[in-house]
Amino acid sequence: MTREPLQTGSTIDGFRIGEKIHTGGMATLWRVTRPDIEAPIVMKVPTLLDGEDATVIVGFEMEMMILPRLSGVHVPKFYAVGDFARQPYVVMEYIRGESVYALIDRAPLPPEEVVSLGAKVATALVDLHRQNVLHLDIKPSNVMLRESGEAALIDFGLSRHLLLPDLLEEEFRVPMGTGPYIAPEQIMKNRGDPRSDIYSLGVLLYYLATNVRPFGIPQAQSSLKNRLWRDPVPPRRLNPAIPAPLQEVILRCLEVDPDKRYATPAQLAFDLANMSQVVLTDRAHRLERNSFFDACKRWFAALGAEGGPQQPRTAQSNLAPIIMVAVDLSEDMEDLSDELRTNVKRVLATMPGVRIACVNVLKLSRITINYTLDESGRNIHVQRLVELKEWGRPLGLSQERITFHVIEHMDPAVALIDYARLNHVDQVLIGARTTSTLRRLLGSTASQVVAEAPCTVTVVRVPLNSGTVEVAADSEAARADSP
């Protein structure tokens, strides 16, 4: 395939080529302009050497397939692609900001910075997975931090779209990934598990927290497989400043068995945003890696375990959703509160991997002084939290599956909506108070949550003259009826 080499000043498909800003082993980046596009943009062109490396070509094909289907702040905005028959390229947004790769020189970073960065990348993965794409190559150079603060993921050459053919899996029978960051199941040629991205993010967090890669830089297939039977040295052994909850999170991400990791990046982001509520297991206090005897058992178990391509886990987020329950603890709401708990039990019966977040809003006054103590001298916030935990006790859930949050805010509906959005909640359960003329005129918290929440909302209502409960389970139907 013969082509004229790109150079500054040339034009292709209306794009004028500017300066070359990056040359890598797989592709080159050029600044480009086009009269109808005001935003700064770049053109990514694959590096096609003599003989045309097949993995480069197929990987670039995957990026040309995937990037046009993505949207949102966590990926670069797509503009155009060029055909392989003439000149393959992808034109995309030039992201203003800093690569996480630039932070490596400062490692080990302060724990709070590692937590903040991890939450941003996990949030980006939530958005990516909801668009049916697994990145499968999370590493410092593939994460950009926008000037506005969000993490944006780049380079989708090794990615997989769960609703599209996986050309890499179909055409190659070798592990695809970057040695230090690749997940164990990817080594075993399984490119269909969303939790592989959680593993790679765990490697990234480990590296930034300790300035050590948990499995070094593997130089051969045999060393690549070491992670199948050897645990990494616990991060706190390398950096005692790392708090126990952060080690718990990192080592959970790095579990060899995907079932022992976080089920979704949303659950990981949730823990990173609520570090004080992370449940500590033996992972948090570990200072030694697994024993030689344990490593031998894993080594024998891994023999012959390679099974090739597997069916992708497209419904993983449905198996382990985050359910927010908005609990009204007012004295006159006891019946509705009980029925709300009954509905939570029904959810638990159908979705055993669900994570419950119990939320109560402590409403602040807009015009009067907000006192922190009640008439008995007890802290109101703490007392409300105690009551909320008491409400959740009959559910019988372990600490890993239920959390409690009292939010102080002047507008309960806004507080609940913001919580659902920031914590990637999949569904909201909320009780609706008995209707009245005033409530019909002014609207209600439940109706506003139904109208504006970024997820499904289930409304539980106790009719005035009945012991039965009405449930509006479909958010779209409920919104049609809301004020």
State the CATH number of the domain containing residue 119: 1.10.510.10
Residue type (1 letter), 399: Q
The pLDDT value given to residue 74: 98
At residue 371, the pLDDT reads 60
CA distance 306 to 189: 7
Identify the domain boundary among 283, 315, 347.
Answer: 315
- Closest listed residue to residue 181, CA positions, set 205, 147, 162: 205
Verify that 309 and 346 share a domain, yes or no.
no
The pLDDT value recorded for residue 53 is 60
Same domain, 208 and 250: yes
Consecutive sets of 10 residues in the chain, 483 residues long: mean pLDDT of each?
A: 74 96 89 96 83 74 94 98 88 97 96 98 98 97 97 96 87 84 93 96 98 89 83 96 98 96 96 95 93 79 59 51 92 88 93 89 72 70 89 90 89 93 92 61 77 92 56 42 35
Query: What pLDDT does 275 receive?
Result: 96
Same domain, 302 and 367: no
Cα separation, 87 vs 107, whole angstroms:
40
**Contact between 432 and 446 (Cβ < 8 Å):** yes
Residue type, 430: I
pLDDT computed for residue 174 by the predictor = 78
* Both structure tokens of 180: 């230090």
Q: Do 199 and 308 sit in the same domain of this protein?
A: yes
Cα separation, 417 vs 110, in Å, equals 31
Retrieve residue 146's tokens. Answer: 């926008």
- The pLDDT of residue 261 is 97
Question: Which alpha helices (H) appear in 303-425, and where do they start and end?
Answer: 316-319, 334-350, 380-392, 412-422
Beta strands in 128-267 (DSSP E): 133-134, 143-146, 151-153, 160-161
Domain encompassing residue 300: 99-315
Q: What are phi and psi of 373, to 5 degrees?
A: -115, 150
Both 259 and 117 in one domain: the answer is yes
Residue closest to 163 by CA, chosen among 187, 210, 129, 197: 129
What pLDDT score was predicted for residue 304?
60
pLDDT at position 214, please? 95
Burial class (CB in 10 A: 0-12, 13-18, 19+), 107: middle
- What are the structure tokens assigned to 109, written together? 């970073």
- The sign of the torsion formed by the CA atoms of 431, 434, 435, 436 equals negative
Same domain, 310 and 337: no
- Which residue among 93, 124, 146 closes a domain? 93
